[in-house]
Structure 1
Amino acid sequence: MGRIDRHQRALMGAVAFGVIVIACAAKAQEAGGVQDATPLQRIVAGTGADKVAIDTPQAVTVLDQEAINDQQPRTVGDLFAEIPGITTIGSNSVFGESINIRGIGEALSGDESRIIFQVDGVNKFYEQYRMGSFFSDPELYKQVEVLRGPASSTLYGAGAMGGVVLFETKDASDFLDPGDLFGGQLKTSWDSNGNGWLTSGIVAVRPVENFEVLGAFNYRQSQDLTDGHGNTIDDSDFSSMSGLAKARYTFGQNNDQSVFASYERWYSDEDNQKYDQIAWGADFGDVDRTVTDQTAVIGYENAFFGNDLLDVKVQASWSDTQVKQDNQDLVCFGPTTCIYPFGTRSEYSYKTWQSSVENTAFFKLSDTWDAYLTTGLDGQYQERRNARYYPEGVADGSGSHPEGDSTLVGGYAQAELIWNDRVTLIPGARLDYSSIHVGSVSVYDSRTGGFTTTDLNDTSTDLAFSPKIAALVKLSDWFGVFGSVARTERMPTLDELYNNYEVNDVDKEVSTNFEAGFTLSFQDVFRKGDAVQVKTTAFHNNLSNYYASYYNHTLGRVVTDVVPKARFQGLEVEAAYGSETWYAGLGGSVIRGDNLTNDIALNAVPADSVFVKLGYVYRPWNIDFGWKGDFVAAQERVGDNESKTSGYALHNLYASWKPEDGHFRNSELRFNIDNIFDKAYRNHLSDDEGAGRSFKLSFTQRF
């Protein structure tokens, strides 16, 4: 039997072990008690009827505040450790993180609109050669929702072939009980690996009735991490400051209206960082790098009390992500050829203005049929700038990162038809219009020390259509089946249209995705109030004109291949047991990506993986403790110029204490040990080694 078969058997053994853990947790119960919600019972942020993850005909996972706190995340990428089908890629650097969903997402390519990030409804996107794509701090958020697959394109934008990640920031109401005028929390945490510290403070006030204000500040720092061999992981050190200000005023009949505003900022300034934050290559030298990310939102909501046909939300926003690089090295290729590849200093800027309006109407079709219809319009205008300063002058962008302006306007409609809470049908469609403009391009010639100006002066327009239909049928109180068919088109990006200082003829990528699965939900299985829930999803995603980028070791540079026919397919499993005392969880994914044109494997397909979790809550003292194991198979199905990786298993312990009375009432103490055996390993989609053993401690005091 081959190595792949052995690894697959080991992974299936981990799945079986997880099922046994869930069963043992269930059988370990004592009589009496009330069950806590399992992860599959968390409410999904969306339109139409309120629903939980297990009752959604799409693969979706929600992390609430408790789940975020459990992980004691160091970076945003740490949040996704317990979500099947999503993998953090790039590096351990806070500047080098991106994500991969179901095999889509490459650290060395532009994945604009293949995976959509939103913060409080605002699209966030950043693309720079050998850098990450999203900069923020996990302490800002109270909920993260991951929708996997292109069906999410209907509401969030054409081309979301991998899926959508929604971040929701904290609100003042999270820290204010009815009647409170003042509240908040103080938090500090420590991480032994890298001697990392977090200091966080939140103040929430309600100065007058129906008016709430929140202010939050976070400072986080870490030295370089070490791996399981005790070696330093280069450039994993950082310090960052982040803050959040939010206000909401509620008014009208039955408080059905509100106006709101928010401002979020993340900032980090690091010296002597490698230009390459993905593979740590020395070819491009070092830089001093400052990263600033800002998001501002204003909006209005009106539920129109007594009118089922109107429930309106209007929002306008501004987003700005900037990276400034100073003291860039002179890089030499041989004894006589020395150049500044990106100038002595450079500035990357993505400024985006967005607006949206959405309405959800409710129709009572009959005693057994309810219907919701969500319609909306959204638009954005983005300016992308990249000034590069040389001793002889200033260049505008480069062949791999041209400057330009883009406009995107979309309209959508999605219906939700519900029969007797047994059958849910969700048809929907979206139409998007894109216009991308590039003007003159100033190019620096390192051989002559001069500049050449090319006047491209081109505007490219395109349309994308994204239809879908999804259905969930509860055949009984404990068994349901669901499925969906979704199609989306990804319009060419600025980089693809104007690469190498010329106008390129680029076709749209097209994704046609099929999903099917089943759900199991049992209540009062071994004791009153407990629950066992399972959700499985199989997907088959066919793509045409797929743009696959990777580092070609022979050529010594990143290349992009257009794959006429590609396919991603796989299986995702989520299972959970919950009761008043014992709980358990399991999540896993198996993903395959194939270049059907050349009959070879695609790059950037994650290894098969499973996590298993078992925990216990000692109610008299409100102490929660448990174990989590991460089991990752070897990845030997690799594409061209991609290295194979070995399988590994990581074991983690955690505990928390939340006293309900006494001097420490409203406080929370958490203690985690990650990678307790100091295992040396490498995530297949990362170019550096994984972090070794770490002791994590945090203390939070609410007031």
Structure 2
Amino acid sequence: MVKPSTLRTALLCGAAFLPMSVRAQEMTALPAIVVDSKRDVATDTAVPVTQIDQREIDDRQASTIAELIDSVPGVTLMNGTTPGGSGINIRGFGATGTYGTDQMVLIQVDGATQGSEELYRIGTQLYTDPALYKEVEVQRGTVGSFEYGSGVVGGLVRLQTKDASDFTGGALGWAGRQTLELGTNGDGITSSSILAWQPRQDLEFLAQFVWRTQDEQKDGEGEPTGAEGFTDPSYLLKGKYSFGDQSVALSFNNTETTERDVPYDQFGIGPGFFGNVDRDIRNRTTVLAYDWNPASPLWHVKANLSHADQRIDSSYVEGSSPGDMGRSLGDADHRYETTKLTVKNSASFATGTVAHDLRAGVEVIHKKRKEASAAPGGTDDRLALFIVDDARLGNWTFSPALRYETQDMERASGAASSAPTECDNDAVMGGLSIRHGWGNGLSAFVSGAYTETLPILDDFGNLVFMQQSQKARTWEIGAAYETHGLVQAGDAFQIKANLYHTDLWDVTSYSGIDKVETRGIEIEAAYSLANGFYADLNANIAEGDASADGTKGYWTNAVADRLRLTLGQRLGDELDLSWEAVANARFNRVANISDETPGSVIHNLRITYSPRAGIARDVEFRVGVENLFDTDYRPRLATRDAPGRNIKFTIAKTF
């Protein structure tokens, strides 16, 4: 395995050589490159971003959001097959074995920030269904995050719900879609029903109901994985009214889960010690969005008012832990609400020979959390100002970004605490990316970004943490290339490589840790031929170190190196066949040999058939085989074995 330091040196040398190598070439602008594969590569930006569109969402047949995005390089799951026990790790930050989040991975649904809390042995709390969404965007690292939030060190996950016009196509009348999916491992059943109505050209409505249920799954050796089964009914209601150059949209989505006599510990690390609980979970997100896009290039105003409401009520099951030691955790009810108003304007203008795309805005955030055992309650009020400018000068693009955020945090009244119950903090953060394209498909970029994670409600009781923000700096350098006719006429090719180095200090998220350093390389590539053949490849090679009291050691949340390769063949518009291999390298950068993670290679098959004629016209049939050879393995960072072979069958019809 090539070390990240070696790859970093090679890419740096290559980036330095690129300008000399193309200087003598004729600077001819290429037409837009379209690769007909599973996923496009974002070669036109310095931001390390990956978009998963509706076609890929359908194709992957994921049961959770976590399962959907683990195909992105740099993203690793702590489990992931159940909504409750899922944890998302990006570039070594995010989920830990103690909490479902470290506040350094930001998750938004239609612009609403999901209030994932540091609840002991409870997952990311992303209780929602992948069937509700038409697009998922994953940004890795800090670059590109400043108009969305602060403290984004690992990355940003943005989900966008479906719209009625996705089904009506803008035509008046009714449209709908019915989907039924079955899975063999855990007897999974999913039904998604969508009804869209467009009574007028300027008015549209959508209603969707999803019922997803799954029993406990088995690993490659036929043993239970330890992940409890679940039943998640979800629904989405959405409407949009357009008038002239303005529009108003209102959406509401809701997911509920009921669990009875299940382990309190969703990670499965010590369920016997903490005992069992009866747990009721509800996740509601309401978003009111306004858009004004007049003819003037100086104005495109978007306003987004959102309310995210997560509630977890649990009751301890008597006698389920030694001496009923799990009672205080099991009887804790949690509720956390985040209300946010974001107003921003996008303006396009020129100053001399420099063209600008300037985005500036303001955010007002009110977060409220109920007092519970081991989870301090209170309010966290924030005001943020941000500005991002994409300035183009010839083949150069300079993208400075700045965010200022101020905070007023107050402990819930009546909470027992000898420490101060109020604190105020603020921070200035920002970054700069520079990209240069040579007009022949080749580009190179470099960026630097600095961010701060302001104190959170969990920091009440720790005087130092209440007054200290967590700080991180990330440097990135990379290159991208896209072309037609790489091997033969009619083909298309895209590739992008990103080297990054992140330093985290003044650490408050991890006990006993002073500093964390992570570094790695991420590669994405796509290739397709005119005859329908395609290939997708992505890879990440990473490592990390942590310092505790001046002693340097391995970073316990570092991810394993991984390579994902997909080869596929499309036969007209009706049939799509693909094979995917996921190779995880052996992870041995651990203090104890018992913590090593063996390497693994997992194979997945996918078939999509949608006839264009006959009785089954426009019906979509999908067959997916996950873990084809029933391999028994445990991914890096997971606390339980992965599921064994799972055959999924989906039938869908849009009408």
Please report the TM-score for the alignment, with normalisation by the length of structure 1.
0.85
Deviations 1:542-581 (A, max 9, x none): 11122453xxxxxxxxxx1231x32110000001102340
Letter in 2 for 1:522: T
> Would you say 1:424 and 2:397 are equivalent positions?
yes
Partner Cα separation in structure 2 for residue 504 and residue 616 of structure 1? 54
Partner Cα separation in structure 2 for residue 263 and residue 159 of structure 1? 27
**In the alignment, which residue of structure 1 is the partner of 2:28?**
none
* Equivalent residues of 1:284, 1:329 under 8 A apart: no
Deviations 1:464-506 (A, max 9, x none): 221110111112412110110100111121112325xx78555
Shift in Å, 1:182: 1.0
Deviations 1:73-92 (A, max 9, x none): 01111112321001111454
Partner Cα separation in structure 2 for residue 8 and residue 510 of structure 1? 24
Equivalent in 413, 422, 425 of residue 459 of structure 1: 422
> Would you say 1:374 and 2:327 are equivalent positions?
no
Equivalent in 579, 585, 589 of residue 536 of structure 2: 585
Letter in 2 for 1:358: K
Q: Which runs of 5+ in 1 are unaligned?
A: 10-33, 43-52, 387-396, 443-452, 550-559
* Equivalent residues of 1:652, 1:674 under 8 A apart: yes
Letter in 2 for 1:418: R
* Equivalent residues of 2:406, 2:425 under 8 A apart: yes
> Would you say 1:574 and 2:537 are equivalent positions?
no
Deviations 1:386-433 (A, max 9, x none): 4xxxxxxxxxx23x311111112111001111234x322111100011
Letter in 1 for 2:533: W
Letter in 2 for 1:434: Q
- Partner of 1:636: helix, strand, or coil? coil
Query: Which segment is superposed worse, 259-268 or 656-665?
Result: 656-665
Shift in Å, 1:641: 10
Query: Which segment is superposed worse, 480-489 or 83-92?
Result: 83-92
> Would you say 1:77 and 2:28 are equivalent positions?
no
* Equivalent residues of 1:142, 1:168 under 8 A apart: yes
Deviations 1:249-284 (A, max 9, x none): 1111xxx21011000001111111100001341111
* Equivalent residues of 2:202, 2:241 under 8 A apart: yes
Change (3 A) 1:344 1:474: closer
* Equivalent residues of 1:36, 1:578 under 8 A apart: yes
Change (3 A) 1:637 1:381: same
Letter in 1 for 2:629: F
- List aligned pairs for 1:97-496, cutoff 5 A: 97-107=86-96, 108-109=98-99, 111=101, 113-127=103-117, 128-133=119-124, 134-252=126-244, 256-281=245-270, 282-305=272-295, 307-330=296-319, 333=322, 337-339=323-325, 341-342=327-328, 345-365=331-351, 369-386=354-371, 397-398=372-373, 400-420=374-394, 422-440=395-413, 453-454=416-417, 456=419, 458-496=421-459
Letter in 2 for 1:238: F
Partner Cα separation in structure 2 for residue 363 and residue 456 of structure 1? 51
Partner Cα separation in structure 1 for residue 464 and residue 430 of structure 2? 30
> Would you say 1:525 and 2:486 are equivalent positions?
yes
**In the alignment, which residue of structure 1 is the partner of 2:27?**
none
**In the alignment, which residue of structure 1 is the partner of 2:11?**
none
Partner Cα separation in structure 2 for residue 140 and residue 414 of structure 1? 30
**In the alignment, which residue of structure 1 is the partner of 2:643?**
691
Change (3 A) 1:229 1:423: same
* Equivalent residues of 1:193, 1:226 under 8 A apart: yes
**In the alignment, which residue of structure 1 is the partner of 2:20?**
none
* Equivalent residues of 1:158, 1:464 under 8 A apart: no
* Equivalent residues of 2:448, 2:473 under 8 A apart: yes
Equivalent residues, number: 622
Change (3 A) 1:5 1:261: closer
Shift in Å, 1:358: 0.4
Change (3 A) 1:568 1:671: same
Change (3 A) 1:671 1:418: same
Please report the TM-score for the alignment, with normalisation by the length of structure 2.
0.91
Partner Cα separation in structure 1 for residue 171 and residue 468 of structure 2? 58
- List aligned pairs for 1:6-85, cutoff 5 A: 36-38=35-37, 41=40, 53-85=42-74
- Partner of 1:293: helix, strand, or coil? strand
Identity %: 29
Shift in Å, 1:6: 12
Deviations 1:449-468 (A, max 9, x none): xxxx4465621111122111
Letter in 1 for 2:50: T
Change (3 A) 1:645 1:74: same
Shift in Å, 1:624: 0.4
Change (3 A) 1:5 1:204: closer
- Partner of 1:346: helix, strand, or coil? coil
* Equivalent residues of 1:220, 1:240 under 8 A apart: yes
- Partner of 2:56: helix, strand, or coil? helix
> Would you say 1:89 and 2:78 are equivalent positions?
yes
Shift in Å, 1:440: 4.8
> Would you say 1:677 and 2:629 are equivalent positions?
yes
Partner Cα separation in structure 1 for residue 51 and residue 485 of structure 2? 24
Shift in Å, 1:649: 0.5
* Equivalent residues of 2:101, 2:116 under 8 A apart: no
Deviations 1:606-641 (A, max 9, x none): 11100011000011x620001100000111112579
Change (3 A) 1:579 1:315: same
> Would you say 1:604 and 2:557 are equivalent positions?
yes
Partner Cα separation in structure 2 for residue 344 and residue 372 of structure 1? 51
Deviations 1:41-85 (A, max 9, x none): 47xxxxxxxxxx211101110000011111110111111232100
* Equivalent residues of 2:348, 2:357 under 8 A apart: yes
Partner Cα separation in structure 2 for residue 250 and residue 694 of structure 1? 44
Q: State the Cα RMSD in Å.
A: 2.3
Partner Cα separation in structure 1 for residue 639 and residue 164 of structure 2? 40
- Partner of 1:279: helix, strand, or coil? coil
* Equivalent residues of 2:35, 2:528 under 8 A apart: yes
* Equivalent residues of 2:85, 2:227 under 8 A apart: no
- List aligned pairs for 1:530-549, cutoff 5 A: 530-547=491-508, 549=510
Shift in Å, 1:666: 2.4
Letter in 1 for 2:650: S
Query: Which segment is superposed worse, 112-121 or 193-202?
Result: 112-121
* Equivalent residues of 2:196, 2:206 under 8 A apart: yes
Change (3 A) 1:639 1:476: farther
Shift in Å, 1:94: 2.1
- Partner of 2:70: helix, strand, or coil? helix
Deviations 1:271-321 (A, max 9, x none): 11100001341111001111100000112110122x111110112111100
Change (3 A) 1:153 1:178: closer
Q: Which runs of 5+ in 2 are unaligned?
A: 7-32
Deviations 1:2-41 (A, max 9, x none): xx889999xxxxxxxxxxxxxxxxxxxxxxxx96545664
Partner Cα separation in structure 2 for residue 74 and residue 321 of structure 1? 20
Change (3 A) 1:673 1:426: same
- Partner of 1:69: helix, strand, or coil? helix
Partner Cα separation in structure 2 for residue 682 and residue 381 of structure 1? 39
* Equivalent residues of 1:456, 1:503 under 8 A apart: no
Letter in 2 for 1:429: L
Partner Cα separation in structure 1 for residue 309 and residue 591 of structure 2? 36
